[in-house]
Structure 1
């Protein structure tokens, strides 16, 4: 029986020209700390403790193990520095991710002619992906998990999107709409299909959200060796980053409104009798400052769908807070949340209202569309609360501050109005300090938590 592995010290060569050292010196900004297995050359360290095992990877002539960080969560993981299997010029789409082709679910009915799909929420997509991450489903291009999906990268996406069969990177694009980086939202995918080597040179990940405002790293859910994982990943991927394309699943609820196409959440194009309905006039027709016939048409449709209580007088051509609140109540009634329920109508909201689709706005005492949901309006974004900015939310904020007893700085001057002023800032600061916050947390500029507490 062999001796158990031991820890030893070694001095790395500063001029080592092995692929690993070269790559790691070039990738110092994203290196892991030494305590998690980072390469010494990336940190300028002279020595490191490494585990020597018989099955280790050969680097610079020394036998070293492949270091893996289990369940790294949102921590960046070092990229794979190895050349591609067929040589350094062969495109490498992912961490050694060969895949199978189109096939039905294992053990179930179906054909290899293509999948069908159903409407699904973003939350459900991420939750389905997380089930494989939690179960640490092993990677395999030939094995199938208990749910019938193939245990490779494309089978993973087929499972998360709840397709009726197993697709591959050469067909997944048929089930999505191409989008820009700025439009990425949880549940979308980043797809690299390499025609030169489609089974071994392609890869796909599920976008789980940006790790910070720089949008340089995102949380990727993916099926890769040795098992399904969730980790912070550089946009768009460790290798071949400029060849990954972003897609939004046609079946995700609210998809059409996000990408600007006149589609319903199930991916169907507008057609038939509905095609005579007035086309969506564009996002510029709605919002603060808008004054046109489409605002009137929207308001009348909202009143007909249960939104009359939001209007003190009948809907008119000038956009008001009543239009936003009624629109948001309608969006919430459809089960949409977040940016899909911001109170500004997109193509899907417009289509639903003009064609009588979806659910009506419930009564004031009946659930999501009622007064309870409107008690805390959606946070409009930090950019609204800046010197010189004019927005209905500024006046809404000011009036709520007065109701809460934090309007003292309006005394002797103008009361709450849509233009952000120093009086607004000082009142917000007083409210923040009353929460026990100090420093940057009490600078007088409202963020999501200030807004939530103020309207609670």
Structure 2
């Protein structure tokens, strides 16, 4: 009798169909850890082999033996099975082996995460049933409705708690302490997923469409523990969109960090996804401060007839960049000719002409305003209108390396007048220098500020105190 020949196929890394998902799962379960196999599957095979060798049956009589075959849990923060050798720069090599799919631990499914506690994490139970359940779990996901703000808020709870990284430990909210467990927690999923299953809950999007709460995912289907990683997108940190604020679970623990697009390694292999259960824009962020507020809300929020909080924020940003003279009162939530003229003045300050300076903000205009970049109204040659008054802060974009304007010179002269000019060897002048930054830092420290509040770059409060 001849043996049938089957055609093999390579599963797509981001395809959620049952065929590709099953093929990826089978491949991961079939490899030893040293060859890149899934560590949870390795533990399951080891337990099953030991049970089979002794003739035990999984049931009441074999439960004790199955538990005995399970390796002892690794202390939280230590490297587990399949982990990589630590290196000096974890940003360049996340080293994030992950556990298998499985239920929440220590909390009832659907109860949501507890506030970040000081209590110890929950040890991982025996993995044999989990591995069997994961291989047969339905491909139809359960979606819980959430918002971008809620996702970011949940992500921040682990950052605040400094949850240690561990692929085989569970935090007190029931989620596994690895990169995919972190996403499961932030998205409020009903179970712990892994990088090979998270795509079932999401739609693929382009990187240009990324907004806070979306993820950047690299799943190495051929060797899941080698390079596979996932981060939460927290917002762009520069106008060129070459870096972003990443929330991630990596060794030694949860962190929030400015990260190059899309990641330090394998950048071209990271794919952007958006949670399918996303609704509205409530929660943290919204139209207030924070990373979630940096995303352009859409052209429909501005123009004749518009009346919303984004219009108010636009007006305040324009006033901070030298556009106060266009407003007789306000800014307010209802779009006005003052908003259009101030926006147009800001666009022309960037050197834009024609339709690029029509007075209606687009993604580029919005990005420059919310990040404090670009030229202020009045250009780089000096203040214009009310922006020259001592009480009006001209915007953070005026005080950056390479910037040259009358605001910089005015700042320097005031620093000298207030007794904080010791770092000047000449000047002060209109071009921003390291001497300006060090003098501003000295002034900020004199206010009792430390850390990021005394970084040497003036903000509205520094400006107000310096000129009062």
TM-score (norm 1): 0.43
Calculate the TM-score normalised by the size of structure 2.
Answer: 0.42
